Structure 1
Amino acid sequence: LMAHTKTDTEPISSPGPNMEPQEGSDCCSCPEKWVGYRCNCYFISSEVKTWNESRSFCVSQNSSLLQLQNRDELGFMQFSKRFYWIGLSYNEERGAWLWEDGSAPSWDLFLSLETPDPKKCIVYKPMNGVVDESCEKENYYICKKTVVDSM
């Protein structure tokens, strides 16, 4: 008999466009078309938008453009070859890059970016790195909502 134990190691997944973990995995229930992973819900776009359009879409879904907590947060997407807009923008007033909630990113999340151009926006490739690109460029995007545990 094979004992199936839930471990936090490598999920067995085939690299491909459909890298969705099972519905209701971990401790969260997410809206339809959203991916649940470690108590957050993620919307992985399949269409491209500018940074502002992406941000507006996420807000309309009661969420925000992706704010990364740690580099392996998107472990379920490690095979993705795409770059995605994330919710990092340059705040002129404070002279700093900030997440949507006003907090500063820890740049060690991003291996590849030294000093991004303040006039640009940030695209992220899961598990890999970031690039700054013109905010008017159309890219895929990721929205995130944090599921508050009802314990």
Structure 2
Amino acid sequence: MNVCSCSRVFVSPRRECTSWALDVCLPPLSLPRQGAPAPWAKGQFPGPQGPRQQEPFSAASTERGVLLGHQDLLRTNASRQTAVLAALKEKVSVCNSCCQGTQAQLQTARTELGEAREKLFQQESALKELSERVTQGLAEAGRDREDIRTELLRALEAARLRNSSCEQCPASWLPFQGSCYFFSEITATWDEAQRRCVGAGAHLVIVRGLEEQGFLSRNTRGRGYWLGLRAVRRARKIQSYQWVDGVSLSFSYWNQGEPNDAQGREDCVMMLRTGMWNDAPCNSERDSWICEKRQSC
């Protein structure tokens, strides 16, 4: 009976195992003859197939050397990677410090920008308020100048009348630049108002310029008044406007959006309480009227 025994060799780089199994089968023990050398003394092992060389042991030793070389190379690479990682950490630390400084500067810039915007807003508000005051002051100055001019013209006209042979304006009529004006206190249609003016030797007022318009506007007394102005229609469309003396309209003082000829029947013109002009139906009885006649000299 043959007796076999097995042995294993382990090499463990990186905790990995490589094994070779060497089977050595021994024949029945028989002692060599006296004086004869043992077969294994020459590096051979007896067996059923003859002696086997110790080649597996040499291969294992070579593989082990290669693995140890790889292990050294890996250790070297690991050391280099550790150094690179340390350098990167240092750079990251520097970048973090720079970022913190930049963030602080950015926050300061934001604060300064907010303060600048607030100051700019305050300056714009102050400038707007100043502009409104200047505009209001100019408007008031313009009105005051117009009032002074009107009063001066009225005084000059009164002085001229006193020193001339011109007829004085009737009672309840106001003089202005050689004409007399009557502001009615009752209302009537446009045609009725014109008849009443003609009955008084006058006509519905004809506005020839801004000075006369200013005089009329200052005496509206919160009423609306008919003017001596009507539309001229052709084919149901307004072509122009004409005064009661037959002269076409040149100077005008229309309110915003006027004349609009609402419903196609606003042929007559009246003056609003603000002094602005508006077209209206001639048969409206809501407005008073202004008569005008030249002073006779």
Normalized against structure 2, the TM-score is what? Answer: 0.39
Alignment partner for residue 136 of structure 1, among 273, 279, 283? Answer: 283
Partner of 2:191 in structure 1?
Answer: 52
**Bigger helix fraction:** 2
Q: Secondary structure at the match of 1:96?
A: strand
Letter in 1 for 2:271: Y
Q: Note the residue ranges of structure 2 that are not aligned, 5 or more in a row.
A: 1-146
Are 1:110 and 1:128, in contact at CA under 8 Å, matched by a contact in 2? no
Partner of 1:25 in structure 2?
Answer: 158
Are 1:72 and 1:127, in contact at CA under 8 Å, matched by a contact in 2? no
In angstroms, what is the RMSD of aligned CA positions?
3.1
Q: Note the residue ranges of structure 1 that are not aligned, 5 or more in a row.
A: 1-6, 13-20
The runs of at least 4 consecutive aligned structure 1 residues that moved more than 4 Å come to none
* Structure 1 Cα separation of the partners of residues 243 and 218 of structure 2: 22
Are 2:193 and 2:226, in contact at CA under 8 Å, matched by a contact in 1? yes
How many residues get paired?
Answer: 134
Normalized against structure 1, the TM-score is what? Answer: 0.72
Are 1:88 and 1:99, in contact at CA under 8 Å, matched by a contact in 2? yes
Structure 1 pair 105/31, CA: closer, same or farther in 2 (3 Å)?
same
* Structure 2 Cα separation of the partners of residues 119 and 71 of structure 1: 28
Structure 1 pair 76/42, CA: closer, same or farther in 2 (3 Å)?
same
Partner of 2:225 in structure 1?
Answer: 84
Q: Secondary structure at the match of 2:278?
A: strand
Cα deviation for residue 142 of structure 1 reads 0.1
Higher RCO (C-alpha under 8 Å, 6+ residues apart): 1
Partner of 2:215 in structure 1?
Answer: 75
Q: Which range is displaced more, 61-70 or 116-125? A: 116-125
Structure showing greater radius of gyration is 2
